[in-house]
């Protein structure tokens, strides 16, 4: 089974791509909606919450967990991979979304001027700058924190004049840097992709994060058959939230774009 974790609803955009491109596997999704957003929390708190989520998904039978949360990937993934897994679960794997997006950004960038938008924690961590520089030392990276976008998406304000006004204010700051590629460093942002593309203009490539991450997962499983062989393939999907299951079901269906049969409460 593959586990997908996010601090809220945004990771459902990643899960939707998995269900489209890798429908044969079983999935368990966990949203820590009771403690979202992660973007304004300390690194210690983000690590503690993320580790709890990973342990929950492992207990449900997940062999591989995807942190479909840029903040968790930026602030907790490395420590989980280097300290937690070797000590507690050496036969299981946890992957993030930052490296796949960084690799895709380098691949499509024409002039090496890449922008990144995300939560304050993701941008301040500098994780994208670090990963992009590893891949291409000459790349120029410009980050922009957009703390208001996640609540706007979760409140269903996408496309409203107020949301577009805030989006323009954020994007104009980074558009002035003459970037040729933009990485959406938050799994909520694909819901704003059309508006982002319109504002950024045709000279800037806006990466499709869910497609990128799902393609990289396909590649990872091909390179790691020892993990692939342990995944169950009954085409089942289970959903958990740390908050109200009814609210998760209602809003989650908008992110997933199909009916969620049942949502269960998770105690972390």
The residues annotated with a catalytic role in the active site are 69, 186
The SS3 call for residue 185 is strand
Residue 193 CB coordination number (10 Å): 17
Strands 181-185 and 113-118 turn out to be parallel
Using alpha carbons only, what angle is made at residue 154 by residues 239 and 4, rounded to the nearest 5 degrees?
30
Using alpha carbons only, what angle is made at residue 218 by residues 203 and 100, rounded to the nearest 5 degrees?
45
User: Measuring CA to CA, which residue among 119, 168, 164, 173 is closest to residue 142?
Assistant: 173
Contact 39, 71 (CB under 8 A): yes
DSSP string, 193-214: HHHHHHHH-TTSEE--HHHHHH
């Amino acid at each position: 089974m593959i586990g997908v974790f996010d601090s809220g609803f945004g990771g459902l955009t990643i899960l939707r791509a998995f269900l489209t491109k890798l429908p044969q596997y079983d999935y368990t999704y966990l949203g820590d909606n009771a403690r979202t957003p992660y973007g304004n929390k300390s690194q210690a708190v983000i690590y503690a919450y993320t580790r709890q989520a990973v342990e929950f998904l492992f207990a449900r039978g997940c062999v591989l967990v995807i942190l479909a949360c840029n903040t968790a990937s930026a602030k907790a993934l490395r420590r989980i991979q280097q300290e937690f897994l070797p000590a507690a679960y050496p036969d299981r794997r946890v992957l993030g979304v930052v490296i796949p997006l960084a690799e895709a950004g380098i691949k499509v960038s024409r002039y090496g001027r890449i922008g990144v938008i995300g939560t304050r924690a993701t941008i301040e961590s500098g994780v994208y700058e670090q990963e992009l520089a590893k891949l291409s030392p000459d790349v120029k990276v410009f980050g922009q924190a957009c703390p208001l976008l996640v609540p706007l998406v979760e409140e269903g304000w996408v496309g409203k004049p107020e949301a577009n006004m805030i989006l323009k204010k954020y994007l104009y700051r980074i558009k002035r840097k003459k970037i040729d590629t933009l990485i959406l460093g938050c799994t909520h942002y694909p819901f704003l992709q059309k508006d982002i593309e319109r504002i950024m203009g045709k000279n800037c490539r806006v990466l499709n994060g869910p497609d990128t991450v799902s393609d990289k997962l396909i590649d990872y499983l091909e390179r790691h058959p020892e993990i692939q062989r342990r995944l169950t393939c009954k085409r089942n999907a289970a959903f958990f939230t740390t908050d109200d299951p009814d609210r998760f079901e209602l809003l989650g269906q908008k992110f997933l774009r199909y009916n969620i049969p049942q949502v269960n409460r998770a105690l972390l």
